[in-house]
A and B are shown apart, each in its own frame.
Chain A
Amino acid sequence: MNLLVAQAQQIEAPQIDYGAIAPLLVVLGAACMSVLLEALLPKHQRWAVQLVLTLGTLVGATGALIFYATSERPAQGVATLAGAIAVDSPSLFLWATLLVLAFGSVLLIADRSVEPGGAFVAQAAIRPGTIQDRAQATKTGMQTEVFPLTLFALGGMMTFVASNDLLTMFVALEVLSLPLYLMCGLARRRRLLSQEAAVKYFLLGAFASAFFLYGVALLYGYAGSVKLSAIATAAAGTDRSDTLLFAGFGLLVVGLLFKAAVGPFHSWTPDVYQGAPTPVTAFMAACTKVAAFGGILRVLTVAFENTQWEWRGVLYGVAVVSMVIGAVLGLTQTDVKRMIAYSSVAHAGFLLIGSIALTPEGTAPGVSATLFYLLAYGFTTIAAFGIVSLVRNSDGEATHLSQWAGLAKRSPIVAGVFTFLLLALAGIPLTSGFIGKFVVFSAAIEAGLAPLVVIALVASAVAAFFYLRVIVLMYFSEPAPDGPTVTVPGAFTTIAITLGAVVTLVLGLWPTFVLDWAGTGTFLS
């Protein structure tokens, strides 16, 4: 009792480096403002005001980030808020990636030209299948709460990649997940499908975060602290029980791998990607992946670097399972959104290779490679889902692959861009996907993971087959007479797709700038 009183007396106010966490504060502050606006504005003004606020926030946060990154700052980064948040070079890179990817996603979310009124339901409380539901499907107007939810999710993701202790990481994990669960269930059409996706994502996500949390508790018991650096220090000593360390590590990693949709923990991915509104799928596929792998990289390189020989074999196996599942099950899919979902499982395997590429000398060549891969993959995915949202028939998006037959004859431009994006996902040269795979595999070879690279190359070849199958279907089949039409997108979706496709091309031709930037620094330890 007296011990605890004594401890409470030692508490003091933390130092806060406001400049370093300004982007985070801007995003979360704007999210709160957005909730307030949602409460106070009349219905017809909400969409426009929310959109301006959201895009303005993303631009403002990026500005604050650039200002801080170019100003005088410690080269190894700073730990602020009593060491809870680490703002170092990888953090800044991941923040910039998240902000720009979120910008593209918000454009897709806000679009009202492809689907009149937007891809989101007018009122989430309307029961699917009723008269009111059929009426809302054609009515304009949407549930504008999507914008604050997006901002909260983004704030959670940014906190997640910069969190320097496991408790902050857990809270950030929930802040990013809870809005996403809700957003999954808000599709305007195929409501029941969308709600089912939300239930599945929620139940499995909550299950996984419970595992993550138990891992945190065991590591706290092991190290006496949840700071990543304290865990590393404790693991360097030998007088403690390894059971707690490795049980904690295992449970923690299960939670992280679930969020990243890796290997055997991917079962939610295809269902949720298919059921969620396509703009939300784009946001999830791009930004959640970046956030989850940002967290995995930091945990593995900062807290568990000196125990790598104990866990590397396990994650080695997980990466293999992930690539095989993604590539083989991707072959059997008949729905384009599910196919991209399995492709993301395969990509998660490649990213995991980069994440475990640590050398015995304690350097991590995989970090900068993985960061580059995440950026490249995110842009390609957003553009790909943007294209998916354009191919429609009378009851919404036509996602069945058979409906995509002969698409090149209906719309050569859309088919052309989609072909380019699929080639990028497959990793064909002149696209960012090729450079990404190249740098990740080189890092893996440097870290002595050559057999894993061979397996990855085989998996890439298998995966390339199902991308090529879609391309062949689009170009060399006759279009069905009652097939879907390709909607001419408005400005927002056009900008998002163009942004994604152009970045994919530019990073494929001149990757040096971004590669240098990704390699400027290491995690603060």
Chain B
Amino acid sequence: MLDPYLPLVLMFALAGAFALFSVTAAPYIGPRRYNKAKLDAYECGIEPSPQPVVGGGRMPVAYYLTAMLFILFDIEMVFLYPFAVAADKLGLFGLVEIVLFVATLGFAYVYVWRRGGLDWN
């Protein structure tokens, strides 16, 4: 009865165990260095941007650009799920089509890259 869900339960257990292990092990085996960056608020792993006094604390425009690119490329990948479900039935045709699809995204990626969309400044 529960057979199809067993891998799922295992997956959850594995993920939980890994998280627990990482958190408990880190203080013991990691080096201990305290500096200013460690005490700062965490912001995607980079230095927090200064909050201007006027203008209500707006984010720099580069955030928008990165966020927009992320949304676009991230969400296109949703089509890979239906493809994966039917991959064996579609065979070579499906493979060619999905490669074409990713290649189309690749064109957009080349454009963004060459035009400096990925540079932070």
Contacts and interface: CB of A to CB of B under 8 A. Distances in A.
Direct contact of A and B (CB under 8 A): yes
Nearest to B109: A39
A407 B86 CA distance: 66
Interface stretch (A9-17, A206-214, A304-312, A515-523): A9-17
Contact of A39 (B85, B90, B94, B110): B110
Given A13-B94, A40-B114, A35 B89 contact: no
A401 B7 CA distance: 74
B50 interface: no
B104 A32 contact: yes
A177 B110 CA distance: 24
Given A35-B107, A36-B107, A40-B110, A13 B115 contact: no
Nearest to B112: A39
Contact of A35 (B90, B93, B111): B111
Interface in B45-96: 85-86, 89-91, 93-94
A32 B107 contact: yes
A261 to B, nearest CB: 29
Contact of A38 (B91, B104, B111): B111
A39 B116 CA distance: 10
Nearest to A38: B111
Contacts of B115: 39
A32 B107 CA distance: 7
Interface residues of A, number: 11
Nearest to A14: B93
A8 interface: yes
A9 B107 contact: no
B90 A36 contact: no
Interface string B95-118: 000000000100110110111000
B112 to A, nearest CB: 8
Nearest to B114: A39
A12 B90 contact: yes
A11 to B, nearest CB: 4
A36 B113 CA distance: 11
B111 A13 contact: no
Contact of A13 (B90, B108, B114): B90
A9 B111 contact: no
Contacts of A32: 104, 107
A465 B28 CA distance: 88
Contacts of B91: 13
A12 B89 contact: yes
Contacts of A11: 85-86, 89-90
A40 B107 CA distance: 11
Contacts of A38: 111
Contacts of A13: 90-91, 93-94
A193 to B, nearest CB: 23
Interface in A1-60: 8-9, 11-13, 32, 35-36, 38-40
Given A13-B91, A13-B94, A35 B108 contact: yes
B85 A8 contact: yes
A217 to B, nearest CB: 18
A13 B90 CA distance: 5
A38 B90 CA distance: 34
A148 B6 CA distance: 50
A36 B89 contact: no
Given A32-B104, A32-B107, A9 B89 contact: yes
A11 B93 CA distance: 12
B106 to A, nearest CB: 9
A7 to B, nearest CB: 10
Contacts of A36: 107, 110-111
Nearest to A36: B107
B42 to A, nearest CB: 31
Nearest to A41: B114
Contacts of B104: 32
A39 B89 contact: no
A35 B111 CA distance: 7
Contacts of B85: 8, 11
Contacts of A12: 89-90
A350 B103 CA distance: 44
B114 to A, nearest CB: 4
B108 A8 contact: no
Contacts of B90: 11-13
B24 to A, nearest CB: 38
Given A13-B91, A13-B93, A13-B94, A8 B86 contact: yes
Nearest to B93: A13
A84 B69 CA distance: 29
A39 B113 contact: yes
A13 B111 CA distance: 31
A40 B111 CA distance: 8
A9 B85 CA distance: 9
A13 B107 CA distance: 25
Contacts of B107: 32, 35-36, 39
A46 B117 CA distance: 19
19 contacts: A8-B86, A8-B89, A11-B86, A11-B89, A12-B89, A12-B90, A13-B90, A13-B91, A13-B94, A32-B107, A36-B110, A36-B111, A39-B107, A39-B110, A39-B111, A39-B113, A39-B114, A39-B115, A40-B110
Given A12-B89, A32-B104, A35-B108, 9 more contacts: A11-B85, A13-B90, A13-B94, A36-B107, A39-B107, A39-B111, A39-B113, A39-B114, A39-B115
Interface of B: 85-86, 89-91, 93-94, 104, 107-108, 110-111, 113-115
Per CB-CB distance, the 8 closest pairs between chain A and chain B, nearest first, are A39-B114, A13-B93, A39-B111, A11-B86, A39-B110, A8-B85, A36-B107, A32-B107
